[in-house]
C-alpha cells in the first residue's frame, strides 16, 4: 500500500496547527540507522486510509518527496470529538530484521459449525488480533481462524491455528495456549431449558399415581 508524504521543516505547536488548518497532518518516521524525519500527509487521504485494515497490519510504501521506503504504522492520535487526525508515527523496517506487530484475526465458517447449526449457540471472539514476530517479507495481512468443527461448550486455542511459515506468536501473561474463540448456549436458552425441565419435573410430581389392578 502506497502512502504519499512530504518532508516537514516547520516544527512546533504553531506550525502543526497551521498545517492542520491547511488540510495536512503532521507525522514522523523513525527507526533504522537514519535519523527521525518529520513529515506531513494529506489529511483526507490519511483519514480514509486509517479505516482500512491493511493500513494497520501491512508493510507500507511511504514515498517522501519522491523517495520510497518501507514502514509500519506505529501510532496515531485523533481529536477527542472531531473527525481529525492530529499526528501519525511510522517506523522504518529492515528486510533482514524481524518485526513485532499485531495482525487481525478473520473468523470463518461459524454458520456451519455444530455449535451454531445444531445447537443454535453463539460464538464469542475472545481475541480479535494476535501479536506476532516475523521478517517483513513474511508478514501476513491477517490470520484465519476456522470455526467449522467448533461444538457447543468447546473453544479454539492458539495451538489450533496454523501460523504461516516464518511467523511466531508472541504470548503475554504467562498463558501458553490462550483461547481465541469459544461457543456457548445463550443465557436465555439455558434459562428456558431449566424452566422446561422444572415444569416437567413438577408435572411428574403432580401426576396421579397409577391404579393397581387386582
Average pLDDT over residues 80-102: 92
Q: Given this model, what pLDDT does residue 193 score?
A: 43
Q: What is the domain range of residue 7?
A: 2-92
Q: Given this model, what pLDDT does residue 71 score?
A: 95
Q: How many domains does the chain have?
A: 2
Tell me, yes or no, whether 185 lies in a domain.
Answer: yes
Tell me, yes or no, whether 203 lies in a domain.
Answer: no
* Prediction pTM value: 0.76
Residues 79 and 108 in one domain: no
Q: Given this model, what pLDDT does residue 194 score?
A: 43
CA distance 211 to 214: 9
Report pLDDT digits (tens) over 29-64: 998 878 899 999 999 999 999 999 999 989 999 999
Q: Given this model, what pLDDT does residue 8 score?
A: 85
Tell me, yes or no, whether 202 lies in a domain.
Answer: no
Residues 189 and 103 in one domain: yes
The domain that holds 161 is classified in CATH as 2.170.120.20
Tell me, yes or no, whether 129 lies in a domain.
Answer: yes
Enclosing H/E stretch for 146: strand 143-146
Q: Given this model, what pLDDT does residue 209 score?
A: 58
Tell me which of 107-121, 124-138, 197-211 is least confident: 197-211
Report pLDDT digits (tens) over 166-201: 999 998 777 788 999 999 998 755 445 444 445 455
Tell me, yes or no, whether 19 lies in a domain.
Answer: yes
Assess whether pLDDT exceeds 50 at residue 17. Answer: yes
CA distance 92 to 187: 48
Q: Given this model, what pLDDT does residue 165 score?
A: 94
CA-based nearest residue to 92, from 75, 76, 74, 104: 74
Amino acid at each position: 500500500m502506497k502512502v504519499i508524504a512530504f518532508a516537514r521543516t516547520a516544527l512546533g505547536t504553531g506550525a502543526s496547527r497551521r498545517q492542520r488548518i491547511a488540510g495536512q497532518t503532521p507525522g514522523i518516521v523513525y527507526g533504522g540507522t537514519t535519523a527521525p524525519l518529520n513529515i506531513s500527509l494529506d489529511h483526507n487521504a490519511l483519514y480514509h486510509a486509517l479505516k482500512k485494515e491493511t493500513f494497520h497490519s501491512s508493510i507500507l510504501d511511504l514515498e517522501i518527496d519522491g523517495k520510497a521506503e518501507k514502514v509500519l504504522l506505529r501510532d496515531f492520535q485523533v481529536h477527542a470529538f472531531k473527525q481529525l487526525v492530529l499526528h501519525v508515527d511510522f517506523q522504518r523496517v529492515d528486510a533482514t530484521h524481524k518485526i513485532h506487530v499485531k495482525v487481525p484475526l478473520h473468523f470463518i465458517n461459524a454458520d456451519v459449525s455444530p455449535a451454531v447449526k445444531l445447537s443454535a449457540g453463539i460464538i464469542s471472539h475472545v481475541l480479535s488480533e494476535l501479536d506476532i514476530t516475523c521478517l517483513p517479507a513474511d508478514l501476513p495481512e491477517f490470520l484465519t481462524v476456522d470455526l467449522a468443527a467448533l461444538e457447543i461448550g468447546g473453544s479454539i486455542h492458539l495451538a489450533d491455528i496454523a501460523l504461516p511459515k516464518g511467523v511466531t506468536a508472541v504470548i503475554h501473561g504467562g498463558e501458553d495456549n490462550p483461547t481465541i474463540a469459544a461457543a456457548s448456549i445463550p443465557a436465555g436458552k439455558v434459562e428456558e431449558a431449566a424452566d422446561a425441565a422444572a415444569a416437567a419435573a413438577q408435572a411428574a410430581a403432580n401426576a396421579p399415581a397409577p391404579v393397581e389392578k387386582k
